[in-house]
Amino acid sequence: MSGFNTQAVHAGQHKDPHTGAVVPPIYQTSTFIQDGINVLRSGHEYSRGSNPTRDGFQDQLTALEGGASGFAFASGIAAEDALLRAVLEPGDHIILGADGYGGTNRLISKLHSKWGITSSAVDITSLDSVRAAVRPNTALLWVETPSNPLLGIADLAGWADIAREHGALLVVDNTFATPYLQRPLDFGAHAVVHSTTKYIGGHSDVLGGAVIVADHHFRGQTLAEAVGYQQFAGGAVAGPQDSYLAARGLKTLGLRMERHCASADTLARWLDAQPEVTRVYYPGLESHPGHELAARQQRGFGGIVSLALEDEAAARAFAQSMQYFQLSVSLGGVESLVCYPREMTHASLIGTPLEIPANLVRLSVGIEETEDLIADLQRGLAAARATRPVSTVREKALENA
């Protein structure tokens, strides 16, 4: 089989037979003319069921994840919701990684709970804690690695073993790693979910989500049948224009990830040496507890770096003082972003045991020149320093010297 970047450019991207256009046209149509009653010219009937532009993107992403089938949705959360509805039944229990996207937790604890779904949060880095959380009615395990925003690393093969032993499904949110860095299905996961809004789209100009499934039977049908039916009957599909943008982004994913990873690594090491920074969370650092595991599981360590500053005031000042690291939720675009997860992406966790520390800041490292980004971080650290009495900063610098 051809390599990643070759597949990224060609998989699912059928050239236009009528004009020879190198880029497949965007099939901006809701319906397809039938040659007779229920005689479909190319298998397409109505764009909720299938659309050539969406199909092309689904095939492209499925090839890169090494899956059996893929389904594109209007957002990452819509993809997650569709997958859960497709496979779960009232009374089921979910094991959910504690460190993960706040919206996933909200979806399960606020919406799916109304339909009789319960969940337990576990430390993603401890297989013992995963095993201890299994109940007779556990139907699904859900993990994100690297996790958001603490960049924890979960042992995917270990999680897959536990799921298999109990006849449960393992779902991996692969948004942070992308298929370029990590292919969860190769480690035994049954389904991968993506917010294609992030690295796959890659340019902060489109919302989207996807579910990629392995060839696996669950509760009397294949996962492809279950999720495919949910996509059609539930209807939260990705539109043609959004599918096109995601497909275009996906073609350059490998190139962009190389750059995101290299730059993030440089910035993480630089931050680690700064006296104002009390901790850097980046799996590429040898001091990261998940470093060895990430090195085995991933091709690179990703473009997200989180850091802890002295206190909340320093973190807030840092997050609001830079030029290129723009204060915003979301991540994975060519432009650098900074986020204050506790009150932005993970606000729904405040007051729960999963709340994010007040001194934590998350960076999505873009593809700008690394030196310009370091200069920007220097501005941020100067703003953080300005929140503190001079003597404290000096003591800290001496400690670290």
Ligand X SMILES: *Cc1c(COP(=O)(O)O)cnc(C)c1O
Q: Which residues contact ligand X by CB under 6 A?
A: 75-77, 101, 103-104, 144, 148, 173, 175-176, 195, 197-198, 207, 209
Indicate which residue of 54, 183, 198, 362 is catalytic.
198
Return the number of the residue (7 or 58) whose C-beta is nearest ligand X.
58
Could you tell me the smallest distance in angstroms from the CB atom of residue 77 to ligand X? 4
Could you tell me the smallest distance in angstroms from the CB atom of residue 301 to ligand X? 16
Nearest partner of 244 among 83, 3, 60, judged by Cα:
60
* CA dist., res. 143 & res. 126, Å (int): 12
Q: Is 82 in contact with 236 (CB distance < 8 Å)?
A: yes
Return the number of the residue (198 or 388) whose C-beta is nearest ligand X.
198
Could you tell me the smallest distance in angstroms from the CB atom of residue 33 to ligand X? 33
Return the number of the residue (331 or 383) whose C-beta is nearest ligand X.
331
Q: Is 366 in contact with 337 (CB distance < 8 Å)?
A: yes
Residue 331, phi-psi category: left (phi > 0), alpha (psi -120 to 50), beta (remainder) = beta
Indicate which residue of 55, 92, 155, 173 is catalytic.
173
Could you tell me the smallest distance in angstroms from the CB atom of residue 194 to ligand X? 8
Residue 401 in tokens: 């010297």
Residues forming beta bridges with residue 122, ordered by sequence position: 97
Q: Are strands 326-327 and 304-309 parallel, antiparallel or unpaired?
A: unpaired
Could you tell me the smallest distance in angstroms from the CB atom of residue 79 to ligand X? 8
Q: Which residue is nearest to ligand X (CB)?
A: 76
Could you tell me the smallest distance in angstroms from the CB atom of residue 201 to ligand X? 9
Return the number of the residue (76 or 366) whose C-beta is nearest ligand X.
76
Residue 283: Cβ within 10 Å count: 29
* CA dist., res. 85 & res. 234, Å (int): 9
Could you tell me the smallest distance in angstroms from the CB atom of residue 100 to ligand X? 7
15 is catalytic: no
Return the number of the residue (52 or 146) whose C-beta is nearest ligand X.
146
Residue 294 in tokens: 């990430």
Burial of 355 (0-12, 13-18, 19+ CB in 10 A): middle
198 is catalytic: yes
155 is catalytic: no
Indicate which residue of 55, 92, 101, 155 is catalytic.
101
Could you tell me the smallest distance in angstroms from the CB atom of residue 278 to ligand X? 25
Q: Is 157 in contact with 128 (CB distance < 8 Å)?
A: no
Q: Write out the catalytic residue numbers.
A: 48, 101, 173, 198
